[in-house]
Structure 1
């Protein structure tokens, strides 16, 4: 199963972490518990900072209640939305990168929530997208096996192209030149290990489980931290070599 990781630039960051809201637990007549209130947004330092190359990396633990805008009826009450709880790790680097180990939709929503918080009129958190130049990525990586593009056709907003020589296709060349690319998929060899990877226009990096040491389902719990460090190391390698 692919792993999606978000990377953004940090403009402002409250390093001590932040906790927003705490829902109230209620019991109905059958003593069944449910929660009312707004969702929790919690980010706290998790473990000691560590070095990776020339960077110092500070890990954080995130607990985030993602708001689903969907109405319904439960416990004899109507509701207009509900929350889905996500827990994941994030990493702040000494050169002002923030890496979120969670899928794109949740990462974007979490960053949006953090960016709302202020103190005495000053933002506590501010982030900006990592610029993605697909022409440069394609030239540097070489082994492009898939490309997605934005299109403006009836009932179609995205078009995908696959194949070992996909970038030689005339239509694909036009798409690249017109900056309509939204995602590229490619292979990269790092220290004699072959990886299947992808990058989106919004700065999400996709690590495919076909890469032998990037398969969480095959990773024993005792080695999960090593697995996490491999992911972060790979993301930073891609940032240094493909995104800058």
Structure 2
């Protein structure tokens, strides 16, 4: 599968840094898009070449079919990300993005590409499972879930036309993550799990279970907040990522 012509569809660089010694690849949550990571990219200018994934079915890719299977999505992303491994690469995924990052890492390891670190944020470990059916709800039920999680721009939730435009992608993402796993595989890169102490989607023990999914080092960081603890705790999380990026660059 050749991806050269289509790579720009998947990868977004808001602050290109082609000469940076390390890359950070960011994977959005369910219903999310690459622009979620714009503030991260802005904050880490000078430390990394920050790249964010743009999944099909949203924003400038909304005319493309949605992908409602994690494995199929990882299969498509892996060859797009592989060329980025001309230097050390760190993965960061939030919620569904953490699982996609993990599955992409599994696929790339087979090709000899191992991330220097995988940050798994706001998501329970692949081997854990809950029975969830948000993707089977009607539109109002999905909107209620989005509001409860506080991860969607209030402007979107208040704009009926825009909301109806993004709902198919959100439903598809929920279907993908809610039908995933359980998976007992492990990767060879270190994993740092990040979790909010009041996250209704991931308990601290469920985040701790990521320990079994790496044959390398494991760490867990707990922050005050819910599923999107990232927003109020952005400075702390970015400081952690920056420390990791600088350490990775120093090792080379």
Q: Sort the TM-score into its range (normalised by shorter chain).
A: under 0.3
Normalized per residue, the structure richer in helix is: 2
Rg larger for: 1
Q: Give the TM-score of the pair, scaled to structure 1.
A: 0.28
